[in-house]
Amino acid sequence: MRKTLSLILVLAMLLSVALPVLGSAEGAVADGVYTTTCHGFYGDFELSMTIEQGAIAAFDYSGNVETPELGGAALEMMSEAMIAANTSGVDSVSGATVTSAVFRSAVNTMLREIGAPDSMMAAPAKDEPAAETLETDVLVVGAGAAGLAAASGAAESGARVILLEKQDIIGGSFVTSAGIVYAAMDESDVDTMVAYYMDRANGNASEELLRFYAENSMDTIAWLEGLGVQWFMTVPAGTAAEPRAHFAMDENGRWMSGAVMSSKILAHLEELGVEVLTGTPATELLTDETGAVVGATAVCDNVTYTINAGAVILATGGYDASSEMKALYAPTAVTDFPLSSKGNTGDGINMGIAVGAATEFKGGMIGFDFVDGSLPESGYNAVAMYCNSYVQPDGTFVSDVIDYPITYQAIKDLGVEHFYGLYDAAGEQTVAAAMARGFAWKGETVEELAAATGMDAEKLADAIEQGTGLESAPYFAVMVKPCTIGSMGGLVIDTDAQVLSTDGTPIAGLYASGEVANGAFYDKEYPASGSSNSISMTYGLEAGRNAAAYAGK
């Protein structure tokens, strides 16, 4: 029987007075089903908690609208841990910290309202850590797009593979992406695609690495298709006219975001027998007397691992979630909010440097445009990308909307903290949610909008005249801030995905792919949606195959 919290509190108080023996056990709570509202990442939902014999017995969050592979997985993991430990004080699910935090907050609300003891909200005791040694042919560190592909490439080649992921959720920044995969249309498009990337990099990129990527990107598409990925559209991205950006769906016609695609690849790894350890960050690479990499150390809650491997692949992602790393390699992005994986703290870059790896940084980031990091529902931030044109804080025209990396770089180049994105009357519904939260403003006239935002009315009027699609009042301005969805720069690799040392020679037994080693592919401006996913998987597959061969498979 479902009860409201207020009714439970009244009954509990009456019982404690009339029948004191029932409350003789200190902190005992009444059995029942309690409910509250949980403020999820994608919207509110009802959460219920069942107490049986004074302990947490079950949760019901079936009405949630979280992404099943990310927030939904976190709800399941958090609820199972809370039930097992009989406390809300369990560790957050790394990789889904927002969902973890709101779930814990909702559970704590219910526990406090029913008078639960502090022990039901405290961190559970942990056992003393144990030491364990593992053996494998190929060790892959990091389970985003690059690591999932690398583990696949190695396992498909016959190697025993252990895949480590520091977070509790598989997928890294891939799960926060739209799952777009950029690839050459056919063999005749390779030269054009390479030229496009070189042009967007102002000539400051490795044509050799880009050519290998372009030539093999079509095989990456075919590999994904072999896993059941289908494409519902292929469209231009960036400033290129060619339709190279692949948007995926599965066999049921479901749009495959990065989260869905990650789960697809993970199922493939399970079929291949890959051992996956989550919540287990690698801490150090192991080398032999010749300097060859022969494994790594890693830690879990109660286990310290020594993993001996024939070869190691670093696929640990970038560094845009680390203020310290950004201060070193991309100072203009230090204050940018990271929308990427919170595990992007540069671990693999630092592990590579520790064994003599060369690095390449140019100060750029994979930049993005958003409204504000405090918004609980990510959809509100999309209004920063769909406006008609952008203006500076004083109303000076910047440009029409072209592509999010260009907008990001324009903000950086001008040295301002934010832009305003302009909408006309047709955008009223689009900006409504942002307005309700104080991130957008309305003006029945240009002068009224200028006054609301602090812009110069003459400059704003000129910007509206220059902007495309701004036809009728009322006008709206939404705040547009820079954020990141990844980083640029890292370890230097060759076309075999081998990590190169500072003297330019390969470090034996060490390979890398993805953001941890993407410095040679870009200058400062990200060229096109789907590039990072595609480069990560293309070089990940190559790293896996070559690492397996190095390990004798």
Query: Which CA distances in Å does 198 have to 191, 382, 519?
Result: 11, 29, 13
Instruction: Please answer whether residues 283 and 297 qualify as being in contact, where contact means their C-beta atoms are separated by less than 8 angstroms.
Output: yes
Q: What's the pLDDT score for residue 4?
A: 31
How far is 459 from 325, CA to CA, in rounded Å?
38
Identify the CA nearest to 534 among candidates 217, 312, 236, 118: 217
The answer for residues whose C-beta is within 8 angstroms of residue 485's C-beta and 6 or more apart is 173, 176, 177, 320, 338, 339, 340, 366, 367, 368
Q: What's the pLDDT score for residue 66?
A: 86
State the CB neighbour count (10 A cutoff) for residue 310: 23
Respond yes or no on whether the N-terminal peptide bond of residue 376 is cis (omega within 30° of 0).
no
Q: What's the pLDDT score for residue 255?
A: 79
Q: What's the pLDDT score for residue 380?
A: 74
H or E stretch including 235? Answer: strand 230-235
> How big is the chain, counted in residues?
553
Judged on CB neighbours under 10 Å (0-12, 13-18, 19+), 231 is: middle
Dig out the tokens for 190 from the structure.
Answer: 């390779």
Identify the CA nearest to 254 among candidates 223, 232, 235: 232
Task: Give me the half-sphere count of Cα atoms (radius 13 Å) on the Cβ side of residue 195.
Answer: 8
How far is 107 from 272, CA to CA, in rounded Å?
39
Between β-strands 303-314 and 440-443, what pairing exists: parallel, antiparallel or unpaired? unpaired
SS (H, E, C) 393-407: CCCCEEEECCCHHHH
Dig out the tokens for 131 from the structure.
Answer: 């030491």
Query: pLDDT means per 10 residues in the chain (553 residues)?
Result: 31 32 53 92 90 94 86 90 93 85 92 93 85 97 98 98 95 91 98 98 98 98 94 95 93 81 94 96 98 97 94 98 97 93 95 98 95 71 88 95 91 92 94 90 97 97 92 94 95 98 98 98 96 98 98 94
In the chain, the amino acid numbered 417 is E
Between β-strands 130-141 and 303-314, what pairing exists: parallel, antiparallel or unpaired? parallel
Strand order of the β-sheet with 55-60 is 32-40, 43-52, 55-60
Q: How far apart are the first and last CA of the chain?
A: 59
**For the segment 328-349, what is each residue's pLDDT rounded down to a tens digit?**
999 999 999 998 988 999 999 9
367 phi and psi, to 5 degrees? Answer: -85, 155
Identify the CA nearest to 177 among candidates 487, 516, 532: 532
492 phi and psi, to 5 degrees? Answer: -90, 130
For 366-388, b/e burial (b = at least 16 CB within 10 A) is bbbbbbbeebeeeebbebbbebb
Dig out the tokens for 73 from the structure.
Answer: 């997985």
How far is 509 from 550, CA to CA, in rounded Å?
7
16 phi and psi, to 5 degrees? Answer: -70, -25
Q: What's the pLDDT score for residue 126?
A: 80
The DSSP symbol for 276 reads E
